A and B are shown apart, each in its own frame.
Chain A
Amino acid sequence: MSKIIELKNVSKYFQRKEGFRIKVISNFSLAIEEGEAFTILGQKGAGKSVLLKILSNIYPPSEGSVFVNSKFAYLPSAPSSFPWLTPFENIKFVAPDLADKEISNLLELLGLEGYEKHYPISNSYGFRLRITIARALALNPKIIIFDEPFNLLENDVKLEIFNLLKAIKRKKLLTYVFATSNVNEALYLSDRIVIIKGEPAEIIDEIDCSELEINEANFNNDSKINEFRFKIQKSLVENINEKFFNISL
């Protein structure tokens, strides 16, 4: 496998209105292999979202270099399917050259058949997220970057979408990059997890869980999976304690 994404010594500053600037990411380096499901795990405000926006070319890095070796699509945390367009039109909007048949296939893949003409106005977040994923897939990317888009989903819908994403990844040989603050989400979806702490963002631990064969049935009772879960939680908790300790001082 070859590197598909690489961040080298990336730092990011934001200028505040008050005149001073804050360092959100400091000297951050990272490499993601092709075909990996990679997760950045950290608490809220740790800088995960900023990292993903730098990867997606939405924010330029203040220092360092970013290398993304393939076409990508980025999904933000809030629902972003356009409510003024039907699922079919949402896809057509981002990929106008895509044939109607291919759009129908995509909608079918995401379980949206029969809903082609339904406007995503008052529908569930699951429905809207499926449209967003279909829209991303319409661009035929090699990498999909998920900036915590699962937060608003009900647990059963979340699981359904996770299984769907795993199936799509296998079928289309994609690379996934996730950001989340949820340990279970990270464990269920990833081959590799990096745990970061914020102010500024830096890696505190890296866990390779590619050897785990996680599915719905064994996720809550397999001892090896539980061991990994405990390891990740321990790493996060230690980080919280350290942060608390620093503030107390």
Chain B
Amino acid sequence: MNCLNIFFGKICGVKTKLIFSVIFVYVMLVDFILPPLKLLPRTGLILDSFSYLNKNFKFAQMSIIVLVAILIIMFVAFFILYYLRGALIRFNESFPEFLTGLKVFEFFTPFLLIIFAGIYLGGNTFSELLFLFIFSFGLYVAELNKSFRNRNEAYILASKGLGIDERKMRKSVLWKNILPGIRDDIGKIYLKIWFYFLIYEFIFKLDYIGSLMRSIVKYADIAGFYAAAIFLWIVISLGYFSVTRFARHYIFWDEE
């Protein structure tokens, strides 16, 4: 009973209540009050569109595959960051301004990378995965740089005062001091990867979700757009929840 209370307590948070309210209002408006409108398709039509997308594009299956691929890419990029942590922190100490330049990843560089990957690697699945990997690694490094600038000097002083050698200090103390910063922004990193994945797919009309998005745009299929957007939102939220919970579980301490 207690478990049920906790579960429903979480389910019925403010955001969830808001979402259910919006759905309720939408259903009432389009199915019972308003006359048929092209921009606000009836719920039955959206459900039909979802079945159609599933049947013709294997939409649900593809979305799950993409989610798993993104999670694997994020994990591999983090694993490489972990192995390079000593060198990256050292590089940060020596050239603090250089890695700050990676902030451009947040703005236009992903688009340039998309074009680069598309032109030179042929806009296929491999180039897409490579692009997403480089992009997520770049975001991690940018985050590492940001957290490094906010590092806790007391840990460094204490390590020096206790005779801990610099290599161990970088790989253990500084790295652990930096991790909460990465954890706090891992949700943002995940969402950015999804965002650029969708753009990549759309530009190069790849078989996963790209061709589907093109079809929706081509035929101005509003119900299809709603169905795809709702299902993608659910899949992305599921991944977001998993990534942030996983990070919070393993990186349980905070920056000070």
Q: Which residues of A contact B (CB under 8 A)?
A: 53, 56-58, 72-80, 82-84, 93-94, 119, 121, 132, 135-136, 139, 145, 147
Contact = CB atoms under 8 A, between A and B. Distances in A.
Given A83-B256, A121-B253, A135-B162, 13 more contacts: A56-B161, A58-B157, A74-B160, A74-B162, A78-B152, A79-B154, A82-B176, A83-B254, A84-B179, A94-B164, A121-B254, A139-B162, A139-B163
Interface of B: 152-155, 157-158, 160-164, 172-173, 176, 179, 252-254, 256
A80 B254 contact: no
Given A82-B173, A82-B176, A76 B162 contact: no
Given A83-B254, A83-B256, A73 B162 contact: yes
Given A82-B176, A84-B176, A93-B172, A74 B253 contact: no
Contacts of A119: 252-253
Contacts of B256: 78-79, 83
B162 A94 contact: yes
Output the residue of A57, A93, A139 with the most chain B CB within 10 A: A93
Nearest to B162: A94
Where chain B touches its partner, the secondary structure class is helix
B104 to A, nearest CB: 25
A74 B173 contact: no
A74 B176 contact: no
B160 A56 contact: yes
Output the residue of A77, A82, A93 with the most chain B CB within 10 A: A82
B162 A136 contact: yes
15 contacts: A56-B160, A74-B158, A75-B158, A76-B153, A76-B154, A78-B152, A78-B154, A80-B157, A82-B173, A84-B176, A84-B252, A94-B163, A121-B252, A132-B158, A135-B162
Contacts of B179: 84
B165 to A, nearest CB: 11
Contacts of B157: 53, 58, 74, 76, 80, 147
A121 B179 CA distance: 15
**7 closest residue pairs by CB, A with B:** A74-B161, A80-B158, A78-B154, A83-B253, A76-B157, A80-B154, A76-B154
A93 B163 CA distance: 11
